[in-house]
Chain A
Amino acid sequence: MTREEERIYDGEHGWANQTCMRILVRLGQLFGAERLIPIGSAHVSGVSYKTLGDAPIEFLRTLADSGGTVKVKTTLNPQSLDSHYLRGKLEESLQKPQLDILRQFEKMGLTKSLTCTPYYLQRLPRGSHHAWAESSAVVYANSVLGAWTNREGGPSALAAAIIGKTPDYGIHKAENRRPNVRVKVEAKVHNETELGALGIFLGKTLGDKIPAIIGLQKTSNDDLKQLCAAIATTGMTNMFHLDDDKTAREKERIDVNSNQIERTVDELSSGRGEPDLVFLGCPHCSLDEMKRIAGFVEGGQVRAGVEFWVCTSCHVRRAASAYVKSIEKAGGHVLDGVCTVVSWTEKLGIRTIMTNSAKTAYYAPVLNKAEAVLAPMKDCLESALQ
């Protein structure tokens, strides 16, 4: 620790800073870090009242009231409802604690981004260090953007935000970012849903290993987002490589064939009936995805008895106002700052969710008490429309 860090550790800058410094130092000791390094940004998970319950409110309030303020740009994960559509449908007792949680975060200077895709709000230089929670964003930052972050939990990301530093361990070190297993995809992966299924399959197989994935065709970042979210859902993998580096000498090799992908899609599709919710936007939609959805629904109408939700950040929503209009005109709902997985869908009577997201399909039976139908965006849109 530097002298300044020691002073914070000893409590000269108040309880909030001391507690956060103790968290970082102890975690650093646990994982063999020798120092703290400055971070460019932080992203905090643990925002939805549905998943948090009442437990953290008191801690967040104490932290905020004892001078905890963030030192770097710090974004927040989605909450349990949006301020327009779902708020009107949910009882007061679910709304108040959610507002209270957000108020504490705001007091500490966090940005009310309420998104799992904070990478659409800022440019992350390659090789820059960050402290992000939200596993899908961690894998996307490391693998697609080349920004460096460990997979933080909600509390450790918040501690890093308040100190402006993170312990130097894990994949903040170049030598720990090398692949240690080679994954050969023999299957032809046709769309984002199959990429997600590949992620679910790999997450279970890889544990916390870093794969070099070869054999995938050129894929858009939007579709890779599904692989990132899914691989982090079932595994502890923080990143993957897509390059075919002939000099790499990973001893372990895994081959993935079409059967394995098809079986994974089948297993994730627990629902056989008609969906009562068609949902796109896990992880939150990019501007380009909003454009594609708007283009598809243009002139169409959502079927009676079906809800159609598109989830994104308020940031992307603002930039996509023309697309939002098209989707809403067709009878769909663009919900910002919220995500189906962490919202109260079961209280709205939703029993079967159709989605293109393998992550949502994986969590729906547990977190939403709903069955899932997993299919690519185009099929989801066709099902939603008359």
Chain B
Amino acid sequence: MKGRGIVEGTCTAEALVSAKPISFLGGVDPADGRIVEKNHDLCGTCIKGKVLVFPHGHGSTVGSYVMYSLAKKGLAPAAIINRTADPVVVVGAIIADIPMVDQIDIGKINLGDTVEVDGGKGVARILNHKER
């Protein structure tokens, strides 16, 4: 799938897919990288090392700093795929150096798919598709 490259870098990892926006401030525990936002479809799941797929971010701009803090502790996602990038996640991905692509039809990616991301070219490729 061809989208728009936001932050350079390549990786291949397992996809963690959410239909809901993510707020990094308050929504992700900076101590262990788990999603803690109540009623979130990924609540309780750890984002470390995953290709994190979600529509867009929401909430405070402090969320960008949380992403940096996660990266410093080795708890950041391996890459981020958004439908529509928003400033909080973009700034966070830049300072935390997380490869990022947007303008992708995220509905085509399933939880557990192996996904290859090229943030420079703006490409996401599903290598191993899991049935729902």
Interface residues of A (CB under 8 A from B): 19, 22-23, 26-27, 30, 45-46, 51-56, 58-59, 133, 153-156, 159
B1-40: CB near A (< 8 Å → 1, else 0) gives: 0000011000000000000000001000010000000000
B60 touches A58 (CB 8 A): no
Number of A-B contacts (CB under 8 A): 67
* Interface size of B in residues (CB-CB distance below 8 Å): 20
Query: Within B53-104, which residues are at the interface with A (CB < 8 Å)?
Result: 60-62, 64-66, 68-69, 72, 85, 87-88, 90-91, 94-95
Which residue from chain A places its CB closest to the CB of B60 in the assembled complex? A51
B87 touches A30 (CB 8 A): yes
With the chains together, A52 CA to B63 CA distance in Å?
A: 9
Which residue from chain A places its CB closest to the CB of B69 in the assembled complex? A55
Most buried by B among A46, A54, A59, A159: A59
With A30-B90, A53-B30, A58-B69 as contacts: A46 and B62 at CB distance below 8 Å = yes
Residues of chain B with a CB closer than 8 A to A51's CB: 60, 62
B68 touches A58 (CB 8 A): yes
Q: A26-B7, A56-B69 are in contact. List 8 more A-B contacts (CB 8 A).
A: A19-B94, A23-B94, A23-B95, A27-B87, A51-B60, A53-B30, A56-B65, A154-B61
B95 touches A153 (CB 8 A): no
With the chains together, A82 CA to B91 CA distance in Å?
A: 30
With the chains together, A35 CA to B7 CA distance in Å?
A: 19
A156 touches B61 (CB 8 A): yes
With the chains together, A89 CA to B69 CA distance in Å?
A: 30
Cβ-closest 3 pairs across A and B: A153-B61, A56-B65, A55-B65
Q: In angstroms, how far is the closest chain A Cβ from the Cβ of B115?
A: 22
